[in-house]
Amino acid sequence: MPENSRASTQGREHQGASSEASKTTMVIHSIGELAIPPISKDGAIHGKEMANVARHKNAAIAIAGEKIVGIGTSDDILKEHGKAKDIQLVDAGGKLVTPGLVDPHTHLIFGGNRASEFIMRCQGKTYAEIAEAGGGIVASMRATRSATADELAKTGLFRLQRMLQAGTTTCEIKTGYGLDAQSELAMLQAIYKLRGQQPVELVATFMPAHAVPPGEDRESYVQEIVDDMLSRASKLSKEHGADAPIIDVFCDRGYFTLEDTRKIFVAAQALGMPTKVHADEFVNLGATKLAVEHQSLSADHLLNVSDEEITKLASSKTVAVLLPGTSFYLNLAEHAPARKMIESGVAVALGSDFNPGSCHIFSLPLIWGLACLHLRMTPEEALTALTVNSAYAIGAGDKVGQIAPGYQADITIYDVQTIEEVPYNLGWNPVNTTIKKGAIVHRI
């Protein structure tokens, strides 16, 4: 297989077996550059290995049903797979192809909007000042509590359709704007409803510990989460035939303490629920260290992560999910120390943090550009962070985020020729085609 000299392809080339060839349902051929992040069956890609993206020229991918079955040159794949009965041939026309993009951190379901806060921010108000004035998470809580699960799902559907057009094929969605049992469970119900209404694969995160509801005692609210809400969320997931939701906590100044977070983690893990944490966004409370100790899927934000915690992350399977769209949207002077993390051996992922207030950005190609500009990540590192590492950050790395035989055929085709051109073309959507589980679900 022809390849770019910057990345080794040893062990990655796959010629589909003849038994698979007869089952082939789609071949994507004439790919100008097929960019494949490092392959991993045992957790996210760490440190400098993130840059080892294989870049194949004149490549093709063979798909059988929902799975990838072959990768090779266009000539070889078409010769072996191209004559299968009822096969769909997709001409990539010399374009760039990557794995479908994975968003590991969104707050996509909410009622109302907070456009007025954007104006306040333009006038120099900080996140804390806006919250003190009655805005922030509590403002979204009021609007979300007044909406039904069906109404929340309807607005969520619109947003997911836009994300699909920008190349997102798998997306994590959090609750966290209800802040009482009834409303939080309605949000979780809306996530499960959305699974059957559109093609983006959804991973649910239950996050009643996003803020303390107005007028409530924090310790009492944490106890309610532990004693009641977690078990009810687990029961609801089983009713929908879904995996247990991930449990997330906003552990930071003015929100939940380290001890609150530990208490929720222990209760969640006793119910078989994986965990993650909003950590070190405003100040460092030790939440990243706690996440590593509890073998959490990820620690997210990390603007104020300590050197000690970076070292602990590097030797763990906990993924550092960085959100450059948020620090950009909040006009912060400092961003998460991505370069230090990567050079220290941390597994870094990237997410949008799409939400109604602090980051109203859903485009992962835009996040790709911001990661290169503000986090000083290379285009190759950012691609790995947006695919395989993001998948592991939500517990889905065994099936999505990679282009390899046996993985889901989740693929993004771009109207550019190389991966450098995605972050370079900041400000427009470069996605031409989105394929989910072997079916074209968006095409210009």
430 and 335 assigned to the same domain: no
* C-beta separation of 83 from 25 below 8 A: no
Residue 209 lies in a domain: yes
Q: What is the mean pLDDT of residues 313-340?
A: 97
CA distance 323 to 198: 25
Which two three-digit tokens encode residue 73?
Answer: 């040159």
Q: Does residue 5 belong to any structural domain of this protein?
A: no
CA dist 137 and 173 (Å) reads 16
Q: Is residue 2 part of a domain?
A: no
- For residue 5, the model assigns a pLDDT of 35
Co-location of 196 and 136 in the same domain: yes
Classify residue 349: in a domain, yes or no. yes
Q: Are strands 431-436 and 101-103 parallel, antiparallel or unpaired?
A: unpaired
What are the percentages of helix, strand and coil residues in the chain, rounded to 5? Answer: 35, 20, 40
Identify the band that residue 127 occupies on the pLDDT scale cut at 50, 70 and 90: confident
Stated pTM of the model: 0.94
Task: State whether 202 and 294 are in the same domain.
Answer: yes
> How large is the average pLDDT for residues 148-167?
95
Give yes or no: residues 253 and 382 share one domain: yes
Q: Which secondary-structure segment (H or E) carries 139? A: helix 137-145
Distance CA 154, CA 190 (A): 9
CA distance 388 to 398: 9
Print the domain residue range for 76.
18-100+403-443
Q: For 266, which DSSP code?
A: H
Q: pLDDT higher for 130 or 18?
A: 130
Do 340 and 196 share a structural domain?
yes
Provide the number of structural domains found in the chain. Answer: 2
The span from the CA of 325 to the CA of 348, in Å, is: 15
20 close to 70: Cβ distance less than 8 angstroms: yes
Mean pLDDT score of the chain: 94
Is residue 256 over pLDDT 70? yes
What pLDDT is recorded for position 134? 83
Dihedral of alpha carbons 314, 317, 323, 327, sign: negative
Q: Are residues 386 and 325 in the same domain?
A: yes
Question: According to the model, what pLDDT value does residue 6 have?
Answer: 35
Same domain, 165 and 282: yes
In angstroms, the CA 255 to CA 339 distance is: 28
Verify that 96 and 116 share a domain, yes or no: no
The reply to whether 220 falls in a domain is: yes
Decide: helix, strand or coil at residue 426: coil
CATH number at residue 386: 3.20.20.140
Averaged pLDDT for residues 285-311: 99
| 9 within domain boundaries | no
Whether residue 107 is found in the same domain as residue 95:
no
Supply the pLDDT for residue 74: 98
10 assigned to some structural domain: no
Q: What is the pLDDT of residue 128?
A: 85
What confidence tens digit (pLDDT) does each residue in 4-32 have? 433 333 334 444 445 567 799 999 999 99
What the block records as the tokens of 377 is 């990540």
Within 8 A by CB and 6+ apart from 11, the residues are 39
Q: What is the dihedral of CA 52, 56, 57, 59, to 10 degrees?
A: -160
85: pLDDT strictly greater than 90: no
Determine the Cα–Cα distance for residues 269 and 281; give it in Å rounded to an integer.
Answer: 24
Whether residues 111 and 84 share a domain: the answer is: no
Q: Furthest-apart CA pair in the chain: how many Å?
A: 68
> In this predicted structure, what is the pLDDT of residue 18?
52
Handedness of CA 403, 406, 411, 416 (dihedral sign): positive
Q: What's the pLDDT score for residue 73? A: 98
d(CA 21, CA 78): 10
What residues have CB less than 8 Å from 369, skipping those under 6 apart?
422, 423, 424, 425, 426
Residues 176 and 31 in one domain: no
Closest to 149 measured CA to CA, from 171, 170, 175: 175
Residue-wise pLDDT for 187-222, tens only, equals 999 999 999 999 999 999 999 999 999 999 999 999
Q: Are residues 324 and 410 in the same domain?
A: no
pLDDT beyond 60 at 398 = yes
Q: Is a pLDDT exceeding 50 seen at residue 308?
A: yes
Q: What is the pLDDT of residue 8?
A: 36
Q: Considering Cα of 400, then 97, then 359, then 298, what sign does the dihedral take?
A: positive
- The region of weakest confidence among 141-150, 151-160, 258-267, 427-436 is 141-150
Helices and strands (H and E) in the chain: how many: 18, 16
| Domain-embedded: residue 237 | yes
The CATH code of the domain that includes 56 is: 2.30.40.10
Tell me which residue of 83, 28, 43, 25 sits closest to 413, measured CA to CA: 28
Contact 441, 170 (CB under 8 A): no
The dihedral region occupied by 84, where left means phi > 0, alpha psi between -120 and 50, and beta the remainder, is beta
